[in-house]
Amino acid sequence: MPGFYDFRAIEAKWRQKWRDDGIFHVKRDKSKPKYYLLEMFPYPSGKLHVGHLRNYAIGDAIARRKRMDGFNVLHPIGWDSFGMPAENAAIQHKSHPYIWTRNNIDEMRRQFDLMGISYDWSREVATSHPGYYRWTQWIFARMFDEGKAYQKKSFVNWCAHCHTVLANEQVVEGNCWRCDCTVEQQERVGWFLKITDYAEDLLTGLNELEGQWPDRVLTMQKNWIGKSYGAEVDFPIEGGGVIKVFTTRPDTLYGATFMALAPEHPLAMELAKGTELENDVKNFVKQTIAQDKTERTADGVEKSGVFTGRYATNPLSGELIPIWIANFVLIEYGSGAIMSVPAHDQRDFEFATKYDLDIKLVISPDEESVNKTPEQLELDSDALVEAYTGDGVMVNSGPFDGLHNREEGIDRVVAYLQDKGIGKRTVNYRLRDWGVSRQRYWGAPIPIVHCGECGVVRVPDDQLPVVLPTDIEFPENGLSPISGLDSFINTRCPKCDGPAKRETDTMDTFMCSSWYFNRYTSARCDTTMADMEDVDYWMPVDQYVGGIEHAILHLLYARFFTRFLKDIGAVGVAEPFSRLLTQGMVIKDGAKMSKSKGNVVPLDDMAQRYGSDATRLFILFASPPERDLEWSDDGIDGAFRFLGRVYRLIDTNIDTIRGGGEPPEGLDGLPGNLADLRRTTHKTIARVTADFEKFHFNTSIARIMELLNKLTTALKPTDDPVACAVFREAAEAMVVMLQPFTPHLSDELWERMGNNGYVIDHPWPKADPRCLVEESIVIVIQVNGKLRGRLNAPVDISREDMEKMALANEKVADFIKGKTIQKVVVVPGKLVNIVAR
């Protein structure tokens, strides 16, 4: 049946051809500029829905377009296939995570292929494959050797439901990022990566990403790293020892009237030992630590504390100040101890008021305060109803009195401390080391052996990978199956060959995803993590596409890994992702589309009803990429109708189109209607090209729809070779520009129009400036800024003529009747505004 858009047959046919010809298979080729386009690889959770598709449809459009621009495009895909859902599903179905994962990967691979995404499947990786995690372990080993991976006992985030430790980045508002359960603090031994060694570098690196990454991602990372400038100061404890504090306000040191330790601080219990307050302290510490962190740090929670019975000396004023333990002091920030300046810090103020501690004003907004007596200043302190956190003149501060706190005070106090050897200028970061031990099974084993003789020994490179045993059973108690698996645990020490035990914790899966983009450059390399020549050719990723939810997690970790890998010479770049696009969520019925919400639209259904092309087209048309997208079942109908119209128009006029050769140059000599069509064709090319550059796919598609509307009215059966040529040019431009969105249909129509090869290998069309020339222009006429008429005028009309034409206009006359013309504004080639009052 002519004109019937048989998308099922068309899509199957072209996918087969692409596969047979291996057209997405790329090789390193130094004669061509490279372009590395990457979408964040998925966790293989099962069936894909249209919400998932968005990420890949955006990436594919860019990858296809770049190839048309002559780039050697690397567009790979793989699977972030270690992780808890597989393990949980396996436990539930009495199966094995390996089976579950493999089945899901097979299913998702099929669906990606069904969508016609231009992946080079020969580079597919799966993080749970020993050929991959061998190199994750290898990187861990390098980190161990460089002192960047270490073991320590500390308070860690524990999710009882998931039965594992979580990194700080994986705790969202006190809850587990996966299961949303409350996270508790537990003291445990675990492995950490020294991401803090890179804090400064990760921060300054953000500068070069400005304009290339979304601002909000940069801001979020900056806040997360949380750099602050200040000083480290030693406070001697009466009776021996010192307490180190970090402060951003050395200028207020004279006002420090007490100290406060975090309950977890090692000195907390020790100081109270032997005093009559020992029991109170013990109770308070126990109670506070037991409290979960959200509760303890929640908004409006009252500050509370307990006196240790001990004193320290304020190193500047020489006064003895009491040492307290306070719930609002955090062990993980700074040194876990603070100097408290109630007059100038709101928290300290509240605490001091509650426990009746001294408040000493040392910064005054009022210049005259310098001349006040100590008694008067004391009265001022008593009069405070809240902390004064602003700037001013230093008072009550010995030799520093009279200095402006910020302009001079901070520097002078720090210089003094440094001089006396009791403090120094320093910066402090909020970023903590990354805890990577997981007490779960389905992850890469940490390549470490514990030997009674040699201690902690890393597994030598030639014994990697440490294979995750697959012949396991899940114990009832929720523990990892390998934690009690003797055949795995018992081994020999690589150093002394004595009996030793394997580490049974596995790695955080974010480690697996922190370097995968390197692996794609030489996915089957078995001598190293990635072949150096390939990494050098392909890295960095030119355009990364993914969800905003990884603004900190994955994107920060990957930046850290890349810096480390550069330091050891394994990669050549420090920043892995030159440009980042974060796509919005797909919303249905007011909520993010997700399996757990039960509002998913399965991809298979859409492919079956409308085809892959229509599904891809709609998801790119409905909203610009960065914004959220409201899924509409009716909307996809429209996309499908549009493709049907494209198909029908070309199919039913195929002879006319095929009759056209190269159109003549420019617009000269073309009859009006053809000149008009040709102008539209080239204008559309110009606009689609520009919009695509900015990834405004929605408007790109809208322009192509306009071209179709125009061509539908213009295209008539004819033998005239010139007309045929103009029709053909329009039809081809449309089909070629649709290729990044609807590749199957484009190739089909391209072939029918008598062309060889694939559209993706055809260059993106160029707008010919000679075809953009307008015959006449519309001049807008306004009176007092209001639209009163439009006129056709020659393109080269002069300002004077524009003004004359406007004033001669009847409508204008009506509106200026009885008024005086005060001014005439002429915008050449655009508009005339007559100001009459």
**Using the rule CB under 7 A, which residue among 364, 788, 805, 809 binds RNA?**
788
Task: Find the radius of gyration of the CA atoms of the chain.
Answer: 35
Least CB distance to RNA at residue 520 (A): 29
Distance CA 89, CA 93 (A): 6
Query: Per-residue b/e over 719-736, b at no fewer than 16 CB within 10 Å?
Result: eeebbbbbbbbbbbbbbb
3-state SS, 227-254, equals: EEEEEEEEEEECCCCEEEEEECCHHHHH
Q: Residue 821: what are its φ and ψ, rounded to 5°? A: -75, 120
Q: Which of residues 390-429 bind RNA (CB under 7 A)?
A: 428
From residue 152 to residue 191, what is the string marking binding to RNA with x (rule CB under 7 A)? --------------------xx------------------
At residue 792, the 3 state secondary structure works out as: strand
Near RNA in 645-674, by CB under 7 A: 645, 648
Binding segment for RNA (CB under 7 A), chosen from 202-210, 355-363, 604-612, 827-835, is 827-835
Backbone angles phi, psi at 122, to 5 degrees: -70, -10
Of 541 and 734, nearer to RNA (C-beta) is 734
Cβ-proximal residues to 94 (8 Å cutoff; 6+ apart), any chain = none
For residue 579, the minimal CB distance to RNA (Å) is 18
Of 17-25, 240-248, 376-384, 453-461: span binding RNA (CB under 7 A): 240-248
* Cα–Cα distances in angstroms (integers) from residue 477 to residues 95, 317, 483, 546, in the given order: 17, 58, 11, 37
List of E strands, 744-801? 776-783, 786-794
Interaction between residue 234 and RNA (CB under 7 A): no
Question: Of 12-20, 55-63, 146-154, 246-254, which segment contacts RNA by CB under 7 A?
Answer: 246-254
Query: 490 - beta bridge partners?
Result: 501
Q: Which helix (H) or strand (E) holds 586?
A: strand 586-588
Rounded to a whole number of angstroms, the minimum distance from the CB of residue 604 to RNA is 22
Give all strands of the β-sheet with 580-583 in edge-to-edge order.
72-74, 34-39, 543-547, 580-583
Question: What residues form DSSP beta bridges with 641?
Answer: none
Question: Which of 46, 85, 205, 644 touches RNA by CB under 7 A?
Answer: 644
CB of residue 418 to RNA, shortest distance in Å: 17
Number of residues in contact with RNA, rule: CB under 7 A? 85
Q: Which residue, 269 or 780, has its beta carbon nearer to RNA? A: 780
In terms of CB distance, is 458 or 679 closer to RNA? 679
Q: Does 12 bind RNA (CB under 7 A)?
A: no
Cβ 531 to RNA shortest distance, Å: 37
Ranges assigned E (strand) in 225-319: 227-236, 242-247, 258-261, 305-313
Is 210 one of the binding residues for RNA (CB under 7 A)? Answer: no
Smallest gap from residue 725 Cβ to RNA (A): 23
CB of 759 to RNA, least distance (A): 21
Cis peptide bond N-terminal to 465, omega within 30: yes
**Under rule CB under 7 A, residue 702 binds RNA:** yes
Near RNA by CB under 7 A: residue from 49, 75, 148, 303: 303
Per CB under 7 A, the segment of 94-102, 274-282, 295-303, 672-680 that binds RNA is: 295-303
- 628, 655, 693, 775: which one binds RNA (CB under 7 A): 628
**Looking at 745-805, which runs of residues are DSSP E strands?**
776-783, 786-794
Of 298 and 467, which has the nearer Cβ to RNA? 298
**701 makes contact with RNA (CB under 7 A):** yes
Under the binding rule (CB under 7 A), the answer on residue 687 touching RNA is: no
* Residue among 334 and 740 whose Cβ is closer to RNA: 334
Pattern of binders to RNA over 744-783, x per CB under 7 A? Answer: ----------------------------------x-x-x-
Which of these segments, 73-81, 204-212, 636-644, 750-758, binds RNA (CB under 7 A)?
636-644
- DSSP assignment of 17-79 equals HHHHHTTT-----TTS-EEEEEEPPPP--SS-BHHHHHHHHHHHHHHHHHHHTT-EEE---EE
> Which of the residues 513 through 572 are near RNA (CB under 7 A)?
548, 551-552
Q: In what side-by-side order are the strands of the sheet with 490-492?
A: 455-458, 448-451, 499-502, 490-492
Q: Give 32 or 627: the residue with its C-beta nearer to RNA.
A: 627
The 74-113 contact track toward RNA, x by CB under 7 A, reads ----------------------------------------
Per CB under 7 A, the list member of 17, 34, 163, 347 interacting with RNA is: 347
- For residue 657, what are its two tokens? 């189109």
Pick 202 or 535: Cβ nearer RNA:
202
Q: How far is CA 42 from the centre of its chain?
A: 14
Identify the residue whose tokens are 């997690």.
553
> What's the sign of the alpha-carbon dihedral 247, 249, 252, 253?
positive
Based on CB atoms, which residue is closest to RNA, 9 or 172? Answer: 172
669 Cα distance to chain centroid = 53
